[in-house]
């Protein structure tokens, strides 16, 4: 039984002549499977439906070519167009019956369905791989953002820790100075004073407990911390404690990091009573200077 040539098989399957000829020529007429693979890979080429033009060296040029071939004793070059129509010399001598053609076309169509299914599966696998790559990139980006946020929080915590240590050392220095002043006053007004001075200033000898009864006048209590309550845009509140010398900007940063304010939303702070809206200049001032010590309530408002 004679089989259809590759070109005839492609034409029977419904491919255009230009596409079929290009597939056969570009695969070296190696068979229907290679030709179908080539067609599926190049089906979106912009020139896929343009007529096939064989290379100049593979086409018979006329009498001059035939004469040259005869003089040289070499066999004439077979036109590539002839190869497109025949896979073997016997194909044209043994025509196929209609039944045989239908059987062969059916086998070829089944082969094409298999090829198309393999291609769809390959494309699906590639799409899955691209989706995995996209998710990996998204996770890496999220990790980078989280690391940046953690670094900012760590820097803020370190800054507050340093400020707290500096305040502690400053308070200790003040306590030491007060203690030295008390000792100096005790020595000055104690038993080491001249008798004449004591007599002229006081008619009666001072009692032993008098020096110890003298001391610095009572001073107003100094607060070194401020408890701040912040009312957010949705009505919820957050509370925390700041150093009295921390700037108002520290409160603003805390709200940005711990509040539910949408990312990119610009806001400002205000005191409800007496009402006072804090400006950018106020953000650099200490909480104590702004009257927010020992406690205060602030409200977040949109700009």
For residue 61, the model assigns a pLDDT of 37
**Mean pLDDT on 257-263:** 82
Least confident range from 7-21, 88-102, 180-194, 225-239: namely: 88-102
Q: Which residue has the higher pLDDT, 234 or 68?
A: 234
Among residues of the chain, what percentage have pLDDT more than 70?
75
For the cut 60, the answer to whether the pLDDT of residue 199 exceeds it is no
Instruction: Among 51-55, 68-72, 80-84, 230-234, name the most confident range.
Output: 230-234
For residue 203, the model assigns a pLDDT of 53
Determine the Cα–Cα distance for residues 237 and 256; give it in Å rounded to an integer.
Answer: 13
143 Cβ partners below 8 Å, 6+ apart?
Answer: none
Average pLDDT, the chain: 78
**Mean pLDDT on 208-217:** 53
pLDDT tens column, 137-183:
999 999 999 999 999 999 999 999 999 999 889 989 888 888 888 88
- Reduce the secondary structure of the chain to three states and give it as a string: CCCCCHHHHHHHCCCCHHHHHHHHHHCCCCCHHHHHHHHHHCCCCCCCCCCCCCCHHHCCCCHHHHHHHHHHCCCCCCCHHHHHHCCCCCCCCCCCCHHHHHHHHHHHHHHHHHHHHHHHHHHHHHHHHHHHHHHHHHHHHHHHHHHHHHHHHHHHHHHHHHHHHHHHHHHHHHHHHHHHHHHHHHHHCCCCCCHHHHHHHCCCCCCCCHHHHCCCCCCCCCCCEEEEEEECCCCCEEEEEEECCCEHHHHHHHHHHHCCCCCCCCEEEEEECCEEECCCCHHHCECCCCCCCCEEEEEEEEC
For residue 232, the model assigns a pLDDT of 92
Domains of the chain by range and CATH?
Answer: 6-96 (1.10.8.10), 225-302 (3.10.20.90)
């Amino acid at each position: 039984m004679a089989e259809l040539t590759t070109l005839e098989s492609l034409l029977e399957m419904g491919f255009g002549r230009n596409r079929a000829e290009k597939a056969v020529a570009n695969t070296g007429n190696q068979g229907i499977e290679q030709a179908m693979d080539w067609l599926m890979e190049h089906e979106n080429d912009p020139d896929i439906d343009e007529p096939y033009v064989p290379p100049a060296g593979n086409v018979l040029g006329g009498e001059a070519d035939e004469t040259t071939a005869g003089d040289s004793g070499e066999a004439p070059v077979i036109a590539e167009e002839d190869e497109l129509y025949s896979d073997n010399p016997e194909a044209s001598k043994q025509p196929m019956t209609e039944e045989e053609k239908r059987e062969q076309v059916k086998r070829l169509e089944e082969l094409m369905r298999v090829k198309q299914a393999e291609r769809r599966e390959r494309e699906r696998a590639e799409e899955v791989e691209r989706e995995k790559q996209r998710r990996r990139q998204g996770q890496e980006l999220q990790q980078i953002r989280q690391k940046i946020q953690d670094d900012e929080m760590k820097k803020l915590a370190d800054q507050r820790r340093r400020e707290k240590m500096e305040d502690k050392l400053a308070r200790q220095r003040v306590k030491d100075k007060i203690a030295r002043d008390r000792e100096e006053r005790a020595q000055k007004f104690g038993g080491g004073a001249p008798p004449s001075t004591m007599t002229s200033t006081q008619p009666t000898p001072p009692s032993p407990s008098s020096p110890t009864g003298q001391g610095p006048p009572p001073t107003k209590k100094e607060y070194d911390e401020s408890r701040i309550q912040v009312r957010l845009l949705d009505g919820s509140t957050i509370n925390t404690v700041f150093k009295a010398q921390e700037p108002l900007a520290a409160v603003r940063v805390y709200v940005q990091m711990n509040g539910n304010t949408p990312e990119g939303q610009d806001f400002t702070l205000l005191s409800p009573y007496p009402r006072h809206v804090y400006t950018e200049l106020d953000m650099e001032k200490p909480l104590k200077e702004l009257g927010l010590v020992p406690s205060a309530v602030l409200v977040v408002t949109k700009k």
